[in-house]
Structure 1
Amino acid sequence: MPRCALLLWVLAATAPGASTVTDPAPGSTAASPAPASLSPAGPPPAAPAVSHGCLPTGNGYLRARIRGALNLDINWRNADIECDGGLRPDGSALRMSFAGPPHGDGRRLRLVFGVRAVHEGRAGRALPTNLTVILEGEERVFATRGDEHCTVDELRQERLGALGGPLRTWRVVARGFCTSPASALNSDARILVTRFDFAGNAVFEDAPAPSAPQLTSPQARRGPG
């Protein structure tokens, strides 16, 4: 190769930015670019809580007509509500609570009935009833402040679950009305529940057995000598 041509070839090969591309050998495979690294997936989102409704038998409900500061015609079905019931600690009345479907902002309407003279497994008529209407999330409560303003016309009970045992569950079905309004606790607003019908559950339990008197020895009664 002439000297001049050799010098030009060396200068071209060593110039800045010069690159050499080599064809792959026959039969060889070109290396593919490394895949981008993937960050580990986080835990799956928690599933929303599932409400099973009022009664496992699917036949719970609450219907009520409210007028006054609230104008509502309630028709809650079993899957829409949560309910529970049981005797008051002093046994004076059966407490039945029904909470309606919750709103997205946390508000919820709850009705609580306190029905007097109810005995486990027995039907009843013309039972004095106390009523409290709670607007959860709004800090508003309406109450009759006594059981002479509402009446359960008719009440009956149907056994749920196994017979016997310390805890016994009944389906309680009742209908009634109020003759006097329930008043707000923090204002002069009032509502009148002209009629109501409900079916919910009540749990009755045995009264705790009285504790045996503690026996002490004569030495302990005399005290230290």
Structure 2
Amino acid sequence: MDTLSLLFYTFAFVLVYAGFRVITAKSPVTAVLHLVLAFASASCVWMLLQAEFLAISLVLVYVGAVMVLFLFVVMMLDINSAVVREGFWKHFPAAGLIGVLIALEMSFVLTRGFDLPIAKPMAPEVAAVPNAKALGIELFTNYLFPVQVAAVILLVGIIAAIALTLRQRKDSHFQKPAEQVRVKKADRLRVHKVAAVVEAPAAEADANNQAGGQA
């Protein structure tokens, strides 16, 4: 067994173990952390298969953003796992049957995929280009218009989300950047001249003297 095969089986074992712990862990935080481990192991498997772009995307998007958000949400909500697990054994037979059917379908698809004829080797100039670079060339040459359309759709979604959440409420505090840019020193700083020594009024001085004499 060579080094690549050893690494593949190692990461595959860690991936299966982490996926099993995701559905069997009692703590939601533990389940989320094992899901992060599963994503990292899958990324390593994709890296061994020379799919660098997919591996980097999985780490940046899911591990770096989505799973961190899930972890914060789970820790902030303080979910009661006992309530969530109610009725687990009641629905276990149906879930097990569905799982077996999915496993059979996946094995059927995989075994049929292994019977495909061997593809012709790529040209040396194509094989020398990294996957991420080849994908960038395809996106910005042959698929430039769909990429631009997708970018516009995402921009519209971002603007719509901001517009839906931006509501004028009396109890909300917000800043106006235009006013902050035009602000001057006189608008924020006021200098008041105060006398160095202030003499006490005569009535207060007499009252203080009388109080001192009575004491």
TM class by shorter-chain length?
A: under 0.3
Task: Give the TM-score normalised by the residue count of structure 2.
Answer: 0.18
| Larger Rg, first or second structure (1 or 2) | 1
Report 1 or 2 for greater relative contact order, CA contacts < 8 Å, sequence distance ≥ 6.
1
Name the one with the larger strand percent. 1
